[in-house]
């Protein structure tokens, strides 16, 4: 019944037995259209995965042929039913199912499919089979008599009193019986399979572990919610309550362990009210079970009882609002996922789930061993009656569906409470089974029905986020840098408290436990935001410092360059001033002689600087040694700390990590200082090199010749080295050039190919551009012409606008006068009509008042008469009440008598037939009395309620009429007075308007004459303008149409070219595939011929063996005849030849044994050859099938080839047609050009006409 299932497996090294609960039997006969699939075994059988299955089980391969599975999904992506069927069959073998058991399971599944196709027609009050064909196949598969089974469905035997009689069923009842039997057969087969699996895997040893898998889709809220949806939603309520209790009790237990301030909340109680309404005494299910055993109970009586018991009393039970939906909802339940409206149609029938016991009796007598076995524990009512002595057992159908479902659900909940469950929520993103698509309403509905949204709501009441102390401090310590700035170790809990206080978060948003910090919903996100803001600010500060330093360095370089430029400029100016000075010339002449002395001075200075730098370098080296020693000490200390960390707890670890970080910072600072010292050392080394160079130069001045020789030798050696390096680099470059040349050659070929392709494309493009340019020129000429026309038209419009202004002014004046006149006339007529109407209403009100006074008198009399009738009816009702009480007492007495009679009938079941007939008559009389009494009471109640309703309606109607009459009278009097005043005012207004009318009529005549003359001129100008505008519009439309046609032609040609290339490639692929298939076909035919030849050889060998076997048999018969002959001869001869006879007899026996051995060998060989022949025949059959497949594939490819050829021809035809269309368009374009010339001449004529019109307009303006 449940749309989901629970499978239970126990795990151990000794076996894996299983059980099943909540089997979804309803899916056997019905599925949600387009969403669900029937059970896989039906589709596996129809797939014919094991050859011969379909024929053996009398099935068809089309699932749509069978009513029980046609509504659901046929194919599932990625699921091969044939392969799955072979796996199912193999699984049966592995689990030690006997061959006949496996075959019987398949037969019963196939029989269910055919059973669902049974059709019944209504013949009067009796349902009969429309066709016997389906029932015959069902009987053959079930191993029962089809006619007997059909009669059992249409005319079952039922118990009436103490006897069993045949009862006719309607067509609908027969169809219900078919569905119930099909579900029961499938359920019992399924349970037999589970039992057989457990039997195979059974062990006597104790099992302690198991896995349970519960697959359920969640709450179901459809347009039509019936009994199945109630059971499903009841199960979901139970599971959701368990989920809430389990998940949030665990969460609260953790709060308790961590000593967080928290008041325990039982989240599972939210669903208890709905569960009590469903399962408790006088609840929905208990009342349903009670109605199922009551006589004359129906769905309506069940609904009335529920409404009387719960409507308005239980907040979870309600009456749905009227709606325009296809299916009516009779009552509404407030489930966890929302309110659900249920329709109670056929609930009693579904809950009883009656099984046709006559059909069950046929099943139990079946030749199918499995079918009779699975129904052997079911006791029909007839079998119970036949049992003698002892307590009678209840039949298998005694328990209702709701009771069975509730029992299984209680067992499941008990199991869940005893285990540790894990929950997996599966969400379907869309119904089209496509990636990357989210159907928002569908997902939201699933989250609501699964309780995920409610779970999130409950989580937000607690602390959904939590972090251990060390992780929190490590990640968010940047938010409280001042707390951790001095590097002092702080214990994790205290550090977390200080950090959170520094952030300024409210204390109610978090809780600090023993090992973790718990956060309310959204608090951790706020911490992340604060951390990101702090990091962004820190990085921005660092970047600003770096940018400032870089800019200052750039400025210093620029400033130094500026100073150098100033010095150079100053020296150059000084040089230009001094170059002609005598003293400077003399200084230049004697300067070389002063170089030696100056060089010695420089050498002394540089030597001193070198010594100072060497001393500084030595000092720095000593400092570096000290620092290196410190670094080694720090590294050793770090290693000791790491060793200490591995041996001590988390507190020491945190302190050590803090110490390591501090030392790491110091180490980094020392490294930076060391790097600066190295850079300083490099600077000193460079300055030392500079000094050394100066010293060498000075020494070179002292010993020029020696220096020159050394320089020349050094340059020579350097030249040799550079020459070798250049030669090597030259060889490398030559290799690179060779590779590049190969690449260039390849690229040139590719370039040439692309250039050719580009040239062809450019030619096509040039042709199209030439066409486009021609059309563009034509378009430009047309636009110029239209511009000229528009200028002329604008001038004419200005003239017309001036005329229009005059016309509008005159028209407005005239219209205003006419409106005033018309309003005066209308006002006069309205006032006259109002006056007449009010006079008529006044007279009508007088007459109505008089009539209503008379009606009031009549109604008063009626009211008194009704009161008298009501008093009489109340007296009658009192009499009827007393009669009803007496009838109730009589019914109770009769009920007691009936109970006594039924008890006596139970005790005296062995009495005569006459006593049974008397009891039947008594029961019929009693039933008749009950019916008459109930009808009398119902009639009296209806009459009383009808009279009361009539009385109340009459009273309400009379009071309403009196109120309306009084209101109408008052209103008529007020209207009469107001009408009199309005009539006097209207007379005065009418006289004034009459005078004004005469004046306006005179002015109107003058304006009409002026208006007529102006209107004639305006119409002439308007006609000319409309002609010009229509001409312009026509030209524009023709131009646009030509442009559109040209663009369409170009796009069509391009599309045809692309399609042609695509089709060519498809044709080539099809040809290649066809060639491959032909090759495969030839290979298969060759293999087939070789197999056929081998088969012929085997057949010849078999025939030879058969001939030799026949010869041996003939020889054996001869030997037997000889034995008989010799035996007779021996008996007739004397005893003297006994020894010779015995010798011959032994020889004959030996020959006979040899002949029998040869015969046995021949028989064995014949059997072997028969097996070989059968195997080869099967292989030949397989080859025939493959050849047929190859033929089919070849024919399909040929059809595809023909289709592709036909498409190519069609595309070529379309291409030619489009070419013709393009040529026609070009011809039409030339025709339009000719028409444009004609239009130009027409435009010139129109221009002349416009000029004439202008002159006439000027004349009109002057006049």
pLDDT at 849 over 70: no
User: pLDDT tens-digit profile of 263-284?
Assistant: 776 665 567 889 889 988 889 9
Terminal Cα-to-Cα distance of the chain (whole angstroms): 102
Q: What angle do CA 417, 418, 423 make, to 5 degrees?
A: 60
Q: Which of 694, 686, 693 is nearest to 603 (CA)?
A: 694
**Phi (first) and psi of residue 424, to 5 degrees:** -125, 120
Residue for token pair 């040609």: 1053
Radius of gyration over every alpha carbon of the chain, rounded to an integer in angstroms: 57
Rounded distance between C-alpha atoms, residue 818 and residue 409, angstroms: 90
Q: What phi-psi label fits residue 936: left (phi over 0), alpha (psi between -120 and 50 degrees) or beta?
A: alpha
Distance from C-alpha of 883 to C-alpha of 466, rounded to nearest angstrom: 76
Give every CB contact of residue 1149 below 8 A, 6+ residues apart in sequence. Answer: none
**Which tokens is 1106 given?**
């058969």
- What is the arithmetic mean of pLDDT over 343-367? 84
Exposed, middle or buried: residue 586 (CB in 10 Å: 0-12, 13-18, 19+)?
exposed
Structure confidence by residue, pLDDT tens digits, 955-973: 666 666 666 666 766 676 6
Q: Which of the 8 DSSP states describes residue 514?
A: S
**Distances from the Cα of 540 to the Cα of 97, 140, 1104, angstroms:** 77, 88, 103
CA distances from residue 825 to 7, 830, 959, 992, 997 in whole angstroms, order as listed: 93, 9, 46, 12, 9
Determine if residue 202 is left, alpha or beta; phi over 0 gives left, psi from -120 to 50 gives alpha, anything else beta. beta
Task: Quote the pLDDT of residue 88.
Answer: 93
Residue 615: CB atoms within 10 Å: 10
Residues 6+ apart with CB under 8 A from 819: none
Is residue 1197 within 8 Å of 1069, Cβ to Cβ? no
Strand ranges across the sheet with 317-318: 317-318, 331-335, 338-342
pLDDT tens-place string over residues 366-415? 999 999 998 888 888 777 777 654 444 444 445 788 888 888 888 888 88
Question: What are the pLDDT digits (tens) for 1070-1129?
Answer: 667 667 766 766 666 666 666 666 666 766 766 676 676 666 667 666 666 666 676 566
The tally of CA atoms less than 13 A away on the side-chain side of residue 487 is 11
CA atoms within 13 A on the CB side of 1213: 6
Q: Is the dihedral of CA 19, 22, 28, 33 positive or negative?
A: negative
* Mean pLDDT of all residues in 981-1009: 65
Closest to 808 (Cα-Cα) out of 1015, 1022, 1026:
1015
Alpha carbon distance 241, 272 (integer Å): 8
Largest CA-CA distance found in the chain, in angstroms, rounded: 183
Helix (H, G, I), strand (E, B) or coil at 342: strand
Nearest to 306 by CA among 332, 325, 328, 327: 332
- DSSP E strand stretches across 26-75: none
Q: How many helices (H) and strands (E) does the chain have?
A: 27, 13
Structure tokens at 281: 């005494």
| Position 253 pLDDT exceeds 60 | yes
Q: Give the model confidence (pLDDT) of 746-769 as tens digits.
A: 666 766 676 676 666 666 666 666
pLDDT (mean) for 875-894: 66
Asked if 105 and 88 touch (Cβ cutoff 8 Å), the reply is: no
Distance CA 806, CA 796 (A): 16
With a pLDDT cut of 90, the percent of the chain lying above it is 11
3-class secondary structure, 596: helix
Question: What does 372-435 look like in DSSP terms, one character per residue?
Answer: HHHTTTPPPHHHHHH--SSPPPPPTT-S-HHHHHHHHHHHHHHHHHTS-----------SS--T
Burial of residue 1030 (number of CB atoms within 10 Å: 0-12, 13-18, 19+): exposed
Task: Give one DSSP letter per residue of 78-147, joined into a string.
Answer: T--HHHHHHHHHHHHHHTT--HHHHHHHHHHHHHHHHHHT--EEEETTEEEES-SHHHHHHHHHHTS-HH
Q: Does the pLDDT at position 869 exceed 70?
A: no
| Higher per-residue confidence, 1215 vs 392 | 1215
Q: Mean pLDDT in the chain?
A: 74
Alpha-carbon distance 1094 to 1101, whole Å? 11
Write the DSSP string, 1140-1184. HHHHHHHHHHHHHHHHHHHHHHHHHHHHHHHHHHHHHHHHHHHHH
Please report which helix (H) or strand (E) contains residue 332, including its range: strand 331-335
pLDDT for the residue 103? 92
Q: Is the pLDDT of residue 119 over 60?
A: yes
What does the DSSP 8-state code read for residue 320? P
Which pairing describes strands 331-335 and 338-342: parallel, antiparallel, or unpaired? antiparallel
Give the H/E segment covering residue 335: strand 331-335
pTM greater than the 0.75 cutoff: no
473-482, 492-501, 511-520, 1001-1010: range with lowest mean pLDDT: 1001-1010
Cα dihedral across residues 395, 398, 401, 403: positive or negative: negative
* pLDDT bracket for residue 107 (50, 70, 90): very high
């Amino acid at each position: 019944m449940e749309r989901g299932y629970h499978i239970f497996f126990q795990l151990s090294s000794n076996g894996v037995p299983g059980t099943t609960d909540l089997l979804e039997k309803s899916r056997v006969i019905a599925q949600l259209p387009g969403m669900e699939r029937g059970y896989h075994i039906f589709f596996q059988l129809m797939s014919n995965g094991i050859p011969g299955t379909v024929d053996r089980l009398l099935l068809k391969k089309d699932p749509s042929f069978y009513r029980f599975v046609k509504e659901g999904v046929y194919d599932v992506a990625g699921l091969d039913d044939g392969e799955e069927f072979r796996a199912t069959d193999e699984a049966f073998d592995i689990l030690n199912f006997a061959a006949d058991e496996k075959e019987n399971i398949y037969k019963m599944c196939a029989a269910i499919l055919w059973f669902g196709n049974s059709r019944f027609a209504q013949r009067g009050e009796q349902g009969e089979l429309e066709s016997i064909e389906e029932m015959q196949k069902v009987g053959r598969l079930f191993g029962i008599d089809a006619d007997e089974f059909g009669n059992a469905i249409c005319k079952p035997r039922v118990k009436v009193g103490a006897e069993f009689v045949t009862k006719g069923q309607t067509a609908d009842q027969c169809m219900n019986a078919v569905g119930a039997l099909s579900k029961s057969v499938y359920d019992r087969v399924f349970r037999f399979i589970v039992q057989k699996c457990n039997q195979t895997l059974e062990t006597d040893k104790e099992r302690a572990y198991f896995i349970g898998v519960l697959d359920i889709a969640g709450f179901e809220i459809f347009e039509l919610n019936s009994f199945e949806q109630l059971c499903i939603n009841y199960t979901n309520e139970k599971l959701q309550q368990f989920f809430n209790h389990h998940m949030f009790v665990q969460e609260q237990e953790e709060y308790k362990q961590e000593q967080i301030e928290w008041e325990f909340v039982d989240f599972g109680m939210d669903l208890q009210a709905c569960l009590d309404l469903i399962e408790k005494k006088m609840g929905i299910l208990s009342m349903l079970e009670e109605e199922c055993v009551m006589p004359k109970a129906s769905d309506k009586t069940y609904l009335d009882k529920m409404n009387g018991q719960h409507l308005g009393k239980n907040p979870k039970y309600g009456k749905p609002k009227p709606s325009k939906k296809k299916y009516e909802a009779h009552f509404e339940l407030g489930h966890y996922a929302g309110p659900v409206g249920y329709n109670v149609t056929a609930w009693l029938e579904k809950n009883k789930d009656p099984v046709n016991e006559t059909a069950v009796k046929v099943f139990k007598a079946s030749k199918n061993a499995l079918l009779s076995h699975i129904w052997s524990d079911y006791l029909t009512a007839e079998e119970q009656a036949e049992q003698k002595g002892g307590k009678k057992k209840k039949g298998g159908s005694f328990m209702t569906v709701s009771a069975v479902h509730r029992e299984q659900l209680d067992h499941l909940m008990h199991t869940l409470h005893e285990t540790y469950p894990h929950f997996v929520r599966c969400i379907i993103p869309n119904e089209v089974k496509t990636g990357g698509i989210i159907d928002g309403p569908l997902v939201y509905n699933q989250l609501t029905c699964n309780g995920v949204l409610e779970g999130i709501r409950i989580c937000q009441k607690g602390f959904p986020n939590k972090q251990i102390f060390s992780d929190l401090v490590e990640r968010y310590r940047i938010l409280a840098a001042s707390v951790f700035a001095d590097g002092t170790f702080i214990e994790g809990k205290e550090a977390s408290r200080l950090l959170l206080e520094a952030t300024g978060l409210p204390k109610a948003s978090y809780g600090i436990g023993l090992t973790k910090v718990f956060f309310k919903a959204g608090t951790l996100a706020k911490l992340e935001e604060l951390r990101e803001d702090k990091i962004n600010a820190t990085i921005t500060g660092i970047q600003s410092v770096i940018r400032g330093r870089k800019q200052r360095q750039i400025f210093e370089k620029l400033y130094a360059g500026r100073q150098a430029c100033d010095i150079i400029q100053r020296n150059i100016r000084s040089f230009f001033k001094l170059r002609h000075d005598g003293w400077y010339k003399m200084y230049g002449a004697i300067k070389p002689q002063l170089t030696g002395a100056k060089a010695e001075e420089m050498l002394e200075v540089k030597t001193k600087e070198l010594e100072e730098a060497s001393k500084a370098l030595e000092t720095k080296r000593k400092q570096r040694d000290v620092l290196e020693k410190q670094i080694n000490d720090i590294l050793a200390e770090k290693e000791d700390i790491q060793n200490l960390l591995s041996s001590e707890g988390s507190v020491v670890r945190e302190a050590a990590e803090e110490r390591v970080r501090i030392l790491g910072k110091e180490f980094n600072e020392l490294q930076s200082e060391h790097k600066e010292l190295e850079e300083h050392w490099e600077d000193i080394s460079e300055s030392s090199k500079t000094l050394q160079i100066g010293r060498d130069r000075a020494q070179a001045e002292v010993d020029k010749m020696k220096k020159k020789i050394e320089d020349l030798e050094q340059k020579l050696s350097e030249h040799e080295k550079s020459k070798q390096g250049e030669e090597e680099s030259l060889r490398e470059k030559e290799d690179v050039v060779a590779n590049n040349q190969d690449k260039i050659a390849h690229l040139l070929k590719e370039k040439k190919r692309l250039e050719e392709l580009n040239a062809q494309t450019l030619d096509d493009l040039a042709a199209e551009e030439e066409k486009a340019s021609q059309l563009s020129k034509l378009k430009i000429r047309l636009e110029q012409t239209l511009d000229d026309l528009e200028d002329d038209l604008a001038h004419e419009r200005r003239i017309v606008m001036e005329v229009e202004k005059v016309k509008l002014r005159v028209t407005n004046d005239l219209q205003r006068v006419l409106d005033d006149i018309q309003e005066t006339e209308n006002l006069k007529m309205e006032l006259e009509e109002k006056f007449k109407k009010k006079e008529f209403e006044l007279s009508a009100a007088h007459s109505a008042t008089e009539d209503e006074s008379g009606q009031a008198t009549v109604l008063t009399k009626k009211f008194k008469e009704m009161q008298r009738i009501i008093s009489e009816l109340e007296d009658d009702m009192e009499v009827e009440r007393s009669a009803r009480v007496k009838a109730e007492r009589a019914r109770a007495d009769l009920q007691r008598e009936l109970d006594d009679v039924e008890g006596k009938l139970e005790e005296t079941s062995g009495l005569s037939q006459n006593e049974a007939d008397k009891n039947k008559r008594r029961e019929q009389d009693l039933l008749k009395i009950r019916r008459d009494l109930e009808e009398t009471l119902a009639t009296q109640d209806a009459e009383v309620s009808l009279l009361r309703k009539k009385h109340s309606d009459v009273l309400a109607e009379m009071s309403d009429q009196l109120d309306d009459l009084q209101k109408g009278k008052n209103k008529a009097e007020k209207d009469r007075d107001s009408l009199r005043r309005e009539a006097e005012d209207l007379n005065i207004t009418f006289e004034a308007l009459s005078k004004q009318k005469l004046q306006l009529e005179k002015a109107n005549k003058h304006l009409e004459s002026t208006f007529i003359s102006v209107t004639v001129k305006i119409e002439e100008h308007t006609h000319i303008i409309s002609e010009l505008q229509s001409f312009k519009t026509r030209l524009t439309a023709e131009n646009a149409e030509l442009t559109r046609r040209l663009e369409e032609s170009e796009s069509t040609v391009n599309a045809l070219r692309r399609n042609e290339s695509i089709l060519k490639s498809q044709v080539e692929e099809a040809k290649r595939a066809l060639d491959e298939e032909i090759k495969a076909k030839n290979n298969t035919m060759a293999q087939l011929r070789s197999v056929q030849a081998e088969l012929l050889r085997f057949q010849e060998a078999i025939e030879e063996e058969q001939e030799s076997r026949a010869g041996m048999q003939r020889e054996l018969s001869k030997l037997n005849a000889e034995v008989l002959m010799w035996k007779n001869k021996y008996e007739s001869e004397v005893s003297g030849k006994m020894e010779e006879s015995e010798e011959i007899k032994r020889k004959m026996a030996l020959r006979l044994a040899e002949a029998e051995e040869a015969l046995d060998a021949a028989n064995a060989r014949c059997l072997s050859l028969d097996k070989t022949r059968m195997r080869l025949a099967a292989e030949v059959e397989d080859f025939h099938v493959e050849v047929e497949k190859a033929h089919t594939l070849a024919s399909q490819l040929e059809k595809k080839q023909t289709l592709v050829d036909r498409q190519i021809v069609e595309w070529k035809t379309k291409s030619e047609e489009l070419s013709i269309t393009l040529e026609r368009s070009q011809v039409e374009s030339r025709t339009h050009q000719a028409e444009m010339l004609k239009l130009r001449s027409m435009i010139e004529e129109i221009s002349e006409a416009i000029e004439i019109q202008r002159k006439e307009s000027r004349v009109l303006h002057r006049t």
